């Protein structure tokens, strides 16, 4: 231990002569040290990995819709929220765990400043993880989703409020308690709250914990929901910090009032008020002729996926009287009628979208989605006796004519035949028919189907 020159030799070195430091002065180096030494990089990586893994499972939902992307990124942010709270609880309990409280209590920085400084790296970690996930999914969805609408920033604002709430709740718990088991207990309690909050997704209360796996296709969030959610989540985050660390604890009432002001319109609006129907979502973009393929602008990126099936299906009915010349994607609500000469189809989501859409048969489902509105007897499906028992045989024949459809369509699960033998016989007869005979029969079949009159057509 050396004895250098007295500090008083330099007048500028006299701390009592210096004005009080601003609350944020020098905070950046402190934050940098905390981020570097506090394992936050690992926590960031873990949060990003868990969220991206969860989003990968549901990629077929959010990849082509900005609204669903926003909802699913939100879902994963909430589902990893208790993990962030656990991290914050561990970090918040550090001074207590390491016995540094005595020293911290003797410094001029206020408890509020110390709390904010301690919370900041957790907040940065959680926010960075959220934004990383958002940007990665944004990039992943861009090729498909950019055909319609634009990325939604409003939900991001609200979600960052929720990230702040998870972080501050955990941190404050940690400062108050600091036990070794606090972090896992915080995570468990967080998940318990999320599980208990089981209300119908359409209700107003569900908007206060807006985790839902319902899709928002054709909808967009009302402009005010982002700020309202920020107030609802961010208000309690600020209130917790003020209640735990401010000299004037009653100041916590102010952000709580802000939170209530955000919650009231959310609760009152319910799901239909928060996620508004987008009149532009059903706007069709039509291309080509004979057949003309019309798809919703939102799905313009998937035109190539459908166009091949449509072209080949149209070839099957070439020169058939009354055959549709226009293929139109179904609207969001399936409202309205497409009119004569138009086949309305629905897009089939990719592998993993539902239990039946495995890699093995997703191609068959996509083929069926085009062929069924074209050739299926769909007019009286709710009255089974009005559906000719052989009618699925027409679909079976059509599947067999398209590439990849040579197998037994019924056994693949996308042709549900009431009488497999009759359907097989009808398919075989259609296949044996000459071109002119088949065109004539198909013309009669389509006319009978469009008239919904099974007596007007005989089995092929």
Partner 1 sequence: MNPSSATPPAVRVENLTVRRRRAVLLDSLDLTADRGVHGLLGPNGAGKTTLLRVLATVAAPSSGTVELLGRTPSSPSARTAVRRRLGYLPQQFGHYPRFTVRELVAHLAWLKEVPAARVPAAVERAVDRVGLADLLDRRMRTLSGGQVRRVGIAQAIVNDPELLVLDEPTAGLDPEHRAEFRALLRELGREAAVLVATHHVDDVAAACDRVTVLERGRRVVECTPAELAAAAGAETGGDDHGGGPAERGYTGVLHRFRRDGAVTPVPSPADAGATGTTETEGASA
Q: Does 181 bind partner 1 (CB under 8 A)?
A: no
Q: Of 90 and 326, which has the nearer Cβ to partner 1?
A: 90
Q: Does 2 bind partner 1 (CB under 8 A)?
A: yes
Please provide residue 285's backbone torsions phi and psi, each rounded to the nearest 5 degrees.
Answer: -115, 115
Sheet strands (E) in 99-241? 219-221
Nearest 5 degrees, angle CA 182-CA 188-CA 192?
A: 135
- Reduce the DSSP state of residue 440 to 3 states and report it: helix
- Reduce the DSSP state of residue 336 to 3 states and report it: coil
Q: How far is the CB of 253 from partner 1 (least distance, A)?
A: 20
Which of 45, 57, 105, 199 touches partner 1 by CB under 8 A?
A: 105
Cα 402 from Cα 406, distance rounded (Å): 8
Q: Does 159 bind partner 1 (CB under 8 A)?
A: no
Q: Report the site for partner 1 in 67-96 (rule: CB under 8 A).
A: 94-95
Q: Does 16 bind partner 1 (CB under 8 A)?
A: yes
Cα 343 from Cα 323, distance rounded (Å): 9
Count interface residues toward partner 1 (CB under 8 A): 42
Q: Does 11 bind partner 1 (CB under 8 A)?
A: no
Instruction: Kindly provide the b/e burial profile for residues 32-54, where b requires at least 16 CB atoms within 10 angstroms of the residue's own CB.
Output: eebbeebebeebbebbbebbbeb
Q: Which stretch binds partner 1 (CB under 8 A): 18-26, 143-151, 308-316, 346-354?
A: 18-26
CB 196 within 8 A of CB 203: no
Cα 375 from Cα 316, distance rounded (Å): 10
Q: How far is the CB of 187 from partner 1 (least distance, A)?
A: 23
Q: Does 180 bind partner 1 (CB under 8 A)?
A: no
Q: How far is the CB of 170 from partner 1 (least distance, A)?
A: 19
Q: Are strands 326-329 and 342-345 parallel, antiparallel or unpaired?
A: parallel
Q: Which stretch binds partner 1 (CB under 8 A): 14-22, 40-48, 406-414, 421-429?
A: 14-22
Q: Of 25 and 290, which has the nearer Cβ to partner 1?
A: 25
Q: How far is the CB of 91 from partner 1 (least distance, A)?
A: 11
93-96 LR contacts (CB < 8 Å, sep 24+): 93/174, 93/175, 93/177, 93/178, 93/179, 93/182, 93/183, 94/118, 94/174, 94/178, 95/175, 95/178, 96/174, 96/175, 96/177, 96/178
Q: Does 29 bind partner 1 (CB under 8 A)?
A: yes
Which of 11, 103, 181, 455 touches partner 1 by CB under 8 A?
A: 103
Q: Report the site for partner 1 in 120-139 (rule: CB under 8 A).
A: none
Cα-Cα-Cα-Cα torsion 440, 444, 446, 450, nearest 10 degrees, comes to 160
Which of 41, 45, 49, 100 touches partner 1 by CB under 8 A?
A: 100
CB 298 within 8 A of CB 147: yes
Q: How far is the CB of 101 from partner 1 (least distance, A)?
A: 7
Distances (CA, A) of 178 to 27, 174, 187: 24, 5, 14
Q: Report the site for partner 1 in 217-256 (rule: CB under 8 A).
A: 247
Q: Of 8 and 289, which has the nearer Cβ to partner 1?
A: 8
Q: How far is the CB of 43 from partner 1 (least distance, A)?
A: 14
Q: Does 101 bind partner 1 (CB under 8 A)?
A: yes
Q: How far is the CB of 37 from partner 1 (least distance, A)?
A: 4
Q: Does 3 bind partner 1 (CB under 8 A)?
A: yes
Q: Of 93 and 210, which has the nearer Cβ to partner 1?
A: 93
Distances (CA, A) of 205 to 200, 231, 260, 262: 8, 16, 13, 13
Q: Does 41 bind partner 1 (CB under 8 A)?
A: no
Cα 362 from Cα 398, distance rounded (Å): 17
Return residues touching partner 1 (CB under 8 A): 1-4, 6-8, 12-16, 18, 20-21, 25-27, 29-30, 33, 37-39, 94-95, 98-110, 114, 117, 247
């Amino acid at each position: 231990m050396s004895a250098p020159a007295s500090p008083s030799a330099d007048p500028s070195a006299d701390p009592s002569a210096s004005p009080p430091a601003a609350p944020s002065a020098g905070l950046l180096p402190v934050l940098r040290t905390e981020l570097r030494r506090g394992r936050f990089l690992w926590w960031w990586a873990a949060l990003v990995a868990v969220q991206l893994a969860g989003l990968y499972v549901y990629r077929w939902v959010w990849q082509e819709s900005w609204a669903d992307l926003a909802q699913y990124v939100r879902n994963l942010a909430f589902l990893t929220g208790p993990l962030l709270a656990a991290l914050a609880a561990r970090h918040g309990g550090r001074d207590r765990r390491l016995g540094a409280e005595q020293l911290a209590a003797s410094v001029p920085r206020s408890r509020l400043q110390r709390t904010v400084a301690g919370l900041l790296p957790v907040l940065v970690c959680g926010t960075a993880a959220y934004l990383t996930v958002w940007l990665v999914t944004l990039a992943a969805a861009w090729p498909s989703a950019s055909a319609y609408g634009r990325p939604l920033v409003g939900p991001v604002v609200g979600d960052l409020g929720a990230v702040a709430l998870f972080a501050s709740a955990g941190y404050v718990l940690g400062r108050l308690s600091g036990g070794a088991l606090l972090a896992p207990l915080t995570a468990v309690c967080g998940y318990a709250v999320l599980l208990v909050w089981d209300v119908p997704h359409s209700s107003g209360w569900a908007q206060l914990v807006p985790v839902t796996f319902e899709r928002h296709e054709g909808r967009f969030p009302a402009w005010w929901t982002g700020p309202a959610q920020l107030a609802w989540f961010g208000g309690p985050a600020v209130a917790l910090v003020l209640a735990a660390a401010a000299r004037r604890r009653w100041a916590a009432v102010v952000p709580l009032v802000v939170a209530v002001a955000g919650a009231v319109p959310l609760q009152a609006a319910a799901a239909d008020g928060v996620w508004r129907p987008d009149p532009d979502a059903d706007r069709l973009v039509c291309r080509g002729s004979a057949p003309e393929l019309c798809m919703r602008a939102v799905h313009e990126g998937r035109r190539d996926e459908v166009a091949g099936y449509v072209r080949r299906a149209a070839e099957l009915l070439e020169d058939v009287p009354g055959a549709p010349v226009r293929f139109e994607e179904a609207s969001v609500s399936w409202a309205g009628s497409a009119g004569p000469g138009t086949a309305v189809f629905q897009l089939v989501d990719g592998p993993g979208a539902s239990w039946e859409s495995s890699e093995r048969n997703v191609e068959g489902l996509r083929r069926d989605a085009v062929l069924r509105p074209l050739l299926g007897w769909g007019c009286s499906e709710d009255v089974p006796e009005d559906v000719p028992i052989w009618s699925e045989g027409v679909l079976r024949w059509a599947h067999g004519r398209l590439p990849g459809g040579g197998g037994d369509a019924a056994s693949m699960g996308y042709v549900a035949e009431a009488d497999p033998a009759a359907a097989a016989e009808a398919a075989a007869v259609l296949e044996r028919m000459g071109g002119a005979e088949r065109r004539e029969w198909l013309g009669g079949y389509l006319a009978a189907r469009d008239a919904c009159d099974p007596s007007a057509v005989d089995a092929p």
